[in-house]
Amino acid sequence: SSVPGHNAMASSCPLGYAKKTPSAEAAGGSSSSSCPLGDSTPVAPSKVDDTAQLSRERETSTIPSADGSNFMYPSEKQFFSSATAKGHELDPKDMSMVIAIHNAVNEKTWQDILKYEKLHEKECAEPKLIRFLGRPGELTPKARLLSFFGRTLPFDRHDWHVDRCGKQMRYVVDFYDGKHSPEHPVSIHIDARPEVSFGGLQDRFLHWAKSFV
C-alpha cells in the first residue's frame, strides 16, 4: 500500500488510546486490542533523535463514549511508540500523515455506523461507542465471499460495539485499499454494517432500500 504506516494502522486499535483514563477498560477494548498509555517499551536507539520531535498533542474525536465524554485519538508520540513496540517499521517524518489518516478513517467509520443508527433515532437519539476490538487476519463471511468473486481481501477488520440507549449492538467493519489517483494518493474503502442477526439484517435491508428513495 502507498499509505505510510499502513501495516501499523492495520493492527493497532481503531481509536488508539481512547479517553483520558489510561486503562484497557477506558480504551473500550481488551488488553489484546487496546493500546495502553503506559507502554514503556524502549524505542530503538536509531529513532531517538527523530522521535523527540513527535507531537504529544491529542485530538478529541466526535465519537461519544459510554460515559458521555468523547474518545481521544493518540498523539504522534503515542502512536509511534505503540506501533514500533509491536515490531512495525515507521518513519517518524510520516507520523503527521499517519495520524491524519488514522483519525479520518475512524471518523468516517463512525459516520457510516450512524447512518444505520439513524433508523432508530426515535428509540435512541444519541448512540455511544462502548468498546472496539481489532481483529486483523479474521475474515468476515462477506469479505470471504467477495474474495471468491475476485475482490481483494480487506487489510483490517474491526468490531465496534455500540450502546443504543441500553441495547448493545455490534457493527462489523472491513477496511480495504481504495482506488488511488493523482488527486487522491491515499484511499481507504470502509465497509461498516450491523452484525448478521435478525435485527442487523433488517437494518441492512432498510438502509439499502432508503438509498433508492
Which pairs count as long-range contacts for 82-87, CB under 8 Å and 24+ apart, including other chains? 82/12, 82/16, 82/35, 82/39, 83/5, 83/8, 83/12, 84/41, 84/43, 84/44, 84/47, 85/39, 85/41, 86/8, 86/11, 86/12
What pLDDT shows up at residue 21? 33
What pLDDT shows up at residue 181? 75
Cβ atoms of 209 and 189 within 8 Å: the answer is no
Q: What is the pTM of this model?
A: 0.75
What pLDDT shows up at residue 27? 31
Distance CA(51)–CA(43), nearest Å, equals 9
What pLDDT shows up at residue 20? 37
What pLDDT shows up at residue 49? 54
Over the chain (213 residues), what is each successive 10-residue block's mean pLDDT?
43 43 30 31 48 90 93 93 88 91 94 96 96 88 89 91 96 88 79 93 92 80
